[in-house]
Amino acid sequence: MFCAERKVPETFYLYIMAQHTNKLAQETSPYLLQHAHNPVNWFPWGDEAINKAKAEDKPLLVSIGYAACHWCHVMEKESFEDEETAAIMNEHFVNIKIDREERPDLDHIYMDAVQAMTGSGGWPLNIFLTPDGRPFYGGTYFPPKAIYNRPSWKDVLVGVAGAWSEKRNEIDAQATNLTGHITQSNSFGQQAVEGDIDWAELFSREKADTMFNNIMNTADRQEGGFGNAPKFPQTFTIGYLLRYYHLTGNEQALAQACLSLDKMIQGGLYDHLGGGFARYSTDREWLVPHFEKMLYDNALLVSVLCDAWQLTQKPLYRQAVEETLAFVQREMYSLEKGFYSALDADSEGVEGKFYVWSRAEVEEVLGSDAALFCAFYDVTEEGNWEHTNILNIRTPLQQFAAENNISEQRLQEMLQRCREKLLERRGGRVRPLLDDKVLLGWNALMNSAYSKAYSAFGDPQYEQVARENMDFIWDRFSQNGLNFFHTYKKEIARYPAFLDDYAYLIQALIHLQEITGNSDYLYKAKSLIEWVIEQFSEDDTGFFFYTNKAQEDVIVRKKEVYDGAIPSGNAIMAFNLQYVGVVFDITVWKERAIKMCAALQQAVHRYPGSFGVWATMILSNVGGIAEIAIVGNEVEAVRRALLRNFIPFRVLQSAPAANNDFPLLTNKPASPETQIYLCKNYQCSAPVNNVSDLIRLLKNV
């Protein structure tokens, strides 16, 4: 308060009062700035640190994390703020801090190394490198004292320092082996594709059924989701089930997809007061989240919820989308029209403190409404988590209303009134840290989510946000409309964009074109695909490297194919190549997309949960891709009506009149009525005048 009243920035006092300041003080990443006043002599990744390690013949100690990471904060407080520990680090190592969200390329490389050494990975990621960047030892969280079968951080530091001086040959051999492993891992799951591709074999209904069955083998049919705790949303797998149901009519697929979404929305993973989803659940029942909120998770969940709503018209899904996007615009949207990256899990140094409630506080705020609210949201005196309460729904609203002899509408109104009161009270608490850097790829994912929300619900605000955010991206991240940067903050864009950034951006342009009919977005998408092919291609395989060919500060050019927390850039590029290849009739792009799918087919068929976007790409070709063109004076109204429908495997263009730049819009005759043209599986149908006729055609083609 003192700082605010005097209108002096708090950072001024940090610099005056801080006993230590290191090289991170000049950075913009909130995560790096958190460590700027550690007694550890941290450097950012760059030539200065690497040259210092070479000159002093010291190993590099690289610690990787992110601003919303709870255990990163724990290790900082226990070890990096400890003077004695910092002295050991400063004496024996050149210490580098990396924000994994700023440099995912480095994170991918060194995470692979730690997983090879230990069998698991995570953050904080702590790894020791030779001065030329090759890894030789590492792990994740290390405690200040040896517990949980983990050595203490000091013991690790002393042990590595001793090995560096006494066992250099062994360290060099380990570093060479690990670097070789990272290089070899680039080809995992891929097969050489030679000659003609057997289309019928690759894109058969039998293969689609195999992927569905393998997904269901991991499905939790009681609590939703897949596998055991911890549980992640796995939106790509849910998306596959929705599309598989659309293609086959398999009710089991729809049931598992909807069960998973229902349980996530009803559980503690969802913020019932403020909207938005946490990153994952620590338990099987979705009650206890890891409380950080990531932009990309919310983008991906909004997208799949829009799909589910289009299929089912279930009010719960619309409510979750609207509340989540309201949260995004309220708390993660900048005045410049960019989306921030994340909200921390911690506040006041305690994980989840901002979000949880005691029964007494709820009763104080809600008064006579408290009893019913507490019954609905599982709020008890003893608490449902660590003697406090995470709001969650145990009984669906319709059933709860019947059991309590209250109308659904009246219950909804009461709950809404109570949520607003509690949200206002919560607003007075100490808020979690906002990671206010703006990332290109994550913004593109959220841009696509807004386009999907506009398609489903027709709210013009969603289209406006998508347009304005795309203008922001083009203005702030790009030098020339081709050469983009990865991260932006304080009017500075940094680091060359990675494959994921370009792939998600191209996809967002495609979605924007669909909802607006603006062909400029397609021209931009085409130019960016040409740029990606030039800068990122691995020519022998048709896949793409994660980094561009000019980047020199990585020991290996990684090639990511797994669909993890975010989709594989390679998988999205396969979609982009196929879609834009159809739009501009570029056969070589369409063939490249198919070749990429063929190279991964065995891994995708066997492990669809790890290759969800790839599985959906393969499924799209099983049923065939509908090529839809809308032409005529009433194009906007017809397009709006079409977008409400779930038509997942499609290429869609629309225009007031024919446009010979695009094959789908070429030679379309003028007509007093707006016409809808459909081509699929190498045959075209006679044009129709309304969307219901198109839907009928799609079912019969």
Structure confidence by residue, pLDDT tens digits, 303-352: 999 999 999 999 999 999 999 999 999 999 999 999 999 999 999 989 99
C-alpha–C-alpha distance, residues 159 and 152, integer Å:
11
Contact status, residue 678 vs residue 666, Cβ threshold 8 Å = no
Model pLDDT for residues 340-368, shown as the tens digit of each residue:
999 999 999 899 999 999 999 999 999 99
| pLDDT value for 195 | 67
Instruction: Quote the CA–CA distance of 45 and 110 in Å, as a whole number.
Output: 13
Confirm if 202 and 598 have CB atoms less than 8 A apart.
Answer: yes
**Residue 17 has what pLDDT?**
55
Q: How far is 561 from 439, CA to CA, in rounded Å?
A: 21
DSSP state of 358: -
Intervals of CATH 3.40.30.10 along the chain = 2-185
CA distance 196 to 655: 36
Least confident of 5-19, 193-207, 604-618, 659-673: 5-19
Closest CA to 522 of 662, 644, 665: 662
Residue 8 pLDDT > 70, yes or no? no
- Residue 11 and residue 14: Cα distance in Å, rounded? 5
* Percent helix / strand / coil, the chain, rounded to 5: 50, 15, 35
CA 296/CA 445 separation, integer angstroms: 7
DSSP state of 553: S
Contact 287, 281 (CB under 8 A): yes
Percent of the chain at pLDDT exceeding 90? 88
Return the CA Rg of the chain. 26
Tokens representing residue 274 in the block: 């403020």
CA distances from 211 to 349, 529, 609 (A): 43, 29, 9
Whose CA is closest to 694, among 656, 655, 657, 647?
647
Helices and strands: H and E segment counts in the chain: 28, 19
Q: Which two tokens stand for residue 574?
A: 């396969």
Q: Are 607 and 601 in contact (CB under 8 A)?
A: no
Asked if 50 contacts 133 with a C-beta cutoff of 8 angstroms, the reply is yes
Q: Is 385 helix (H, G, I), strand (E, B) or coil?
A: strand
Taking residues 221-232, report their average pLDDT: 96
Q: What token pair was written down for 56?
A: 């002093």
Hey, what amino acid is at 462?
Y
| Structure confidence by residue, pLDDT tens digits, 128-163 | 999 999 999 999 999 999 987 889 999 999 999 999
Give the Cα separation of 656 and 665 in Å (integer).
10
**Which residue bears the tokens 């007061």?**
273
3-state secondary structure of 75: helix
Give exposure, 613-623, as e/b (b: 16+ Cβ within 10 Å).
Answer: bbbbbbbbbbb
Rounded Cα distance between 138 and 452, Å, is 41
CATH of domain 2-185: 3.40.30.10
Q: Which of 374-378, 480-484, 501-505 has the lowest mean pLDDT?
A: 480-484
**Which DSSP symbol is given to 666?**
T
Q: Report which of 375, 367, 355, 630 is spatially closest to residue 519, judged by C-alpha positions.
A: 630
Q: With helix as H, strand as E and coil as C, how does 255-282 read?
A: HHHHHHHHHHHHCCCECCCCCCECCEEC
State residue 97's pLDDT score.
98
Q: What is the average per-residue pLDDT within 240-254?
A: 98
pLDDT reading at 252 higher than 90: yes
Per DSSP, which regions of 573-666 are E strands?
A: 626-631, 650-655
> CA-CA distance, 349 to 73, in Å (whole number)?
8
List the structure tokens of 146.
């040896």
HSE of 1, CA atoms in CB hemisphere, 13 A: 1
Cis amide prior to 656 (ω within 30 degrees): no
Backbone region of residue 192 per phi and psi (left: phi > 0; alpha: psi in -120 to 50; beta: other values): beta
Mean pLDDT of the chain: 93
CA 670/CA 664 separation, integer angstroms: 15
Average pLDDT value for residue range 244-259: 98
For 503, counting Cβ atoms within 10 Å of its Cβ (0-12 exposed, 13-18 middle, 19+ buried), the class is: buried
Place of tokens 């839907």: 695
Judge whether residue 14 has pLDDT over 60.
no
Q: What is the 3-state secondary structure (H, E, C) of 457-471?
A: HCCHHHHHHHHHHHH
Say how many C-beta atoms besides its own lie within 10 A of residue 18's C-beta.
14
> What Å distances lie between residue 296 and 312, 387, 585, CA to CA?
24, 31, 32
Alpha carbon 372 to its chain's center: 36
